[in-house]
Structure formats: structure tokens, C-alpha cells
Amino acid sequence: MKSHTIICFDIGGSAIKCAGAADDGQVGPLRRVPTPTNDFDAFVAAMRALIDSAGAVPRGVAISIAGVIDPADGRIKCANIPCIDGRTLASDLEDAFNLPVWIANDADCFALAETQAGAGRGHANVFGLILGTGVGGGLVIDGRLIGGPGGFAGEWGHGPVAAHFAGTPPQAIPRFACGCGQIGCLDTVGGARGLERLHMALHGAATIALDSRQIVDAWQAGDADAARTIDCFIDLLAGPLAMLVNTIGASVLPVGGGLANSAALIARLDLAVRGAILRKTTQPIIVSGQSGAEPGLIGAAWLGLAKAAAPAKAAP
């Protein structure tokens, strides 16, 4: 490992993944350890051991994490890793490692990875669209992550804007309470859990509980209930996504998360969004991500390389 590399991490509730990144953004080899979720000292020790195993002093540490950092005070909100929740994580880790530490949430890192090494290459404005357990996103304009480690830019899933009616013919859609405290967020009807919730709300006792993969499979097999659910699901997401495209001018929206594995679903969503935006194009703009199996690490690598190359701020 060369001394000019960045050590990048992708941290979730189950595992801490780590790799070194060279100046060209290439990462590897991958190392992985379980995440100590309830002991901060053990959490730091696990990361330190991975850094030490690199064999040379890096220029800094870049982290992709499933959490949101408050830009006002640097405190992280990370429900699935209780020992870091509420901490000023970057500064705490800088003190522990005596290295610069840069953190962005996983959606931001996905957007960076797709911009640099995936479907967003060659595009000026890229919105990384997450359709996983819930919905999220990250925005890159002219190669620069917007919002950076603040974690709030790109959170299109929150805000009480979910339509009251969806599908053809229109059907009433319940207003679900969201974990963010709002009622009627897109996050409650988008993503895997939203798709499942929507399916039960539309069909109730007439159907058995299905997970998102089963709903998509049933739709592709011609099941009428699943087809109705997908019709409403696409309708609920397409309008807000079209407005997003019109507002930020993104020319491609790579999709990550579990629902991105369904090429048919992504193609259906792309067709609906392209039909609703101002700029008419025959080229797909919503496409499955192409940055590889570890977009979190790749995105963290590019975050770290950009931060390490930036000139230091002058003291006030």
C-alpha cells in the first residue's frame, strides 16, 4: 500500500468493509470485519486494526456510512450502530487515528461512485437514486458532491408530498406515518418496504403478505393484483422524480438498492419519468447502477481523494 493512498470504509450495521484507494480511484483488496455496534472503543479498535493492516501511513480516512450527519454540529444520526449515534464521529475518529477523516452517507457515496466509475461517467449532473429498504439519493454536479458530508442533499424521499391518488384508474392511497415524523413521505410508499406496504393497502385481506421481490416476480408473471400495485408504485414515484430532473438538470439517474435488481421495474420507471419531464429524449435516464459490487467503497475513495487534494483552508 503506497503512502499516498486513502483508506476507505463502508460501514453498516453488520460489517465494516475496508480497502485502500490509489490516486486513480482503484480500490482493493477488500477486508471485512463485524461491526461492533454497542461499544465505541471496540468500534474504533476494529477500524484502527484495518488501517494498520494497510502497512503504510495513508493521507486520510474516507467513510461511507448508513447515517446522516448534521451539518450544524457534525453529529451523526445512525440508528443501526448505537455506539456512534449522536457522536461528532469525524472529529472523534480524527483524534483516535491522528489522521484526517471525511464522512458521507452511503447514498452520497453511491452517487460519487456512479459519477466516477459507473453509469454517470461523462455526465455533468448525476443523481444517484436509491431504491432499497427506503428511498434516498445523492447529487453530483460537475464532479462535485453537493451537500457533502451534511447528508441532507438528495433526500427526496422525505416531505409530505406523496400523492393521494395513483394508478389508472386512480385509486386512493393512504397517508402513512414516516419515521422522520412526517405523514405522507415518499419513503413510506417507495423502496422495498413501501412497495410491500402499498400492496397490502391496495389489496388487504384479498392477498397474502408478500415481500418486495415476490411482488415484482408476481407482476412479471402476470398477476393482476401485483400489476395494480406496480402501476400505483410507478405513478407515485414518477411525478416527483420528473420534478427532480427538471429542477436539477440531471441527465442520468443511476439506481442502487435492492429494487435496482429488477431491470423490468427500472425500465418501467424510466419510461414513466421520461414521459413527464420537459426535456424529451429517447435515451434512458433512469438506469441500474454500473459502478460494481462495492459502490460505498468506491464512492468513499473518490470523496477522500477529492478532499485530500483540496487546498487547506486558511486560518481565520
End-to-end CA distance of the chain: 36
Within the chain, what is the greatest distance between any pair of CA atoms? 66
- Report pLDDT for 206: 64
**Distance of alpha carbon 285 from alpha carbon 281, whole angstroms:** 9
Same fold yes or no, 6-108+294-309 and 122-288: yes
| Sign (positive or negative) of CA dihedral 157, 108, 152, 94 | positive
Residue 88, number of CB atoms within 10 A of its CB: 16
Nearest partner of 198 among 175, 161, 158, 229, judged by Cα: 229
- Report pLDDT for 1: 40
Nearest partner of 53 among 39, 37, 33, 26, judged by Cα: 33
SS3 315: coil
Grid cell digits, residue 94: 480524527
Packing angle, helices 106-117 and 295-309, rounded to 10: 80
Q: What angle do CA 25, 92, 56 make, to 5 degrees?
A: 40
DSSP structural state of residue 248: H
270 neighbors 241 (Cβ within 8 angstroms): no
Burial, 143: exposed, middle or buried (Cβ in 10 Å; 0-12, 13-18, 19+)?
Answer: middle
Extents of the domains making up the chain: 6-108+294-309, 122-288
**Distance of alpha carbon 259 from alpha carbon 216, whole angstroms:** 9
Q: Scan for cell 457534525, then name that residue.
A: 74
**Residue pLDDT tens, the chain, 316 long:** 444 589 999 999 899 999 999 888 888 889 999 999 999 999 999 999 999 988 778 899 999 998 888 877 888 988 889 999 999 999 999 999 999 999 998 999 999 999 999 999 999 999 999 999 889 999 999 988 887 555 568 889 998 999 999 999 999 999 999 888 899 999 999 999 999 999 999 998 666 789 999 999 999 999 999 999 999 999 999 999 999 999 999 999 999 999 999 999 999 999 999 999 999 899 999 999 999 889 999 999 999 998 888 765 544 4
For residue 264, which amino acid is it? A
140 neighbors 263 (Cβ within 8 angstroms): no
6-108+294-309 is classed in which CATH architecture? Answer: 2-Layer Sandwich (3.30)
- Report pLDDT for 2: 44
SS3 135: strand
DSSP structural state of residue 309: H
C-alpha 37 chain-centroid distance: 21
How long is the chain? 316
CA distances (Å), origin 97, targets 44, 48, 94: 9, 7, 5
195 neighbors 262 (Cβ within 8 angstroms): no
**Distance of alpha carbon 304 from alpha carbon 46, whole angstroms:** 20
Nearest partner of 266 among 152, 125, 119, 116, judged by Cα: 119
**Distance of alpha carbon 103 from alpha carbon 105, whole angstroms:** 7
Looking only at the bridges linking them, the beta strands covering 76-77 and 135-141 are unpaired
Grid cell digits, residue 182: 412526517
Domain 122-288 fold is Nucleotidyltransferase; domain 5 (3.30.420)
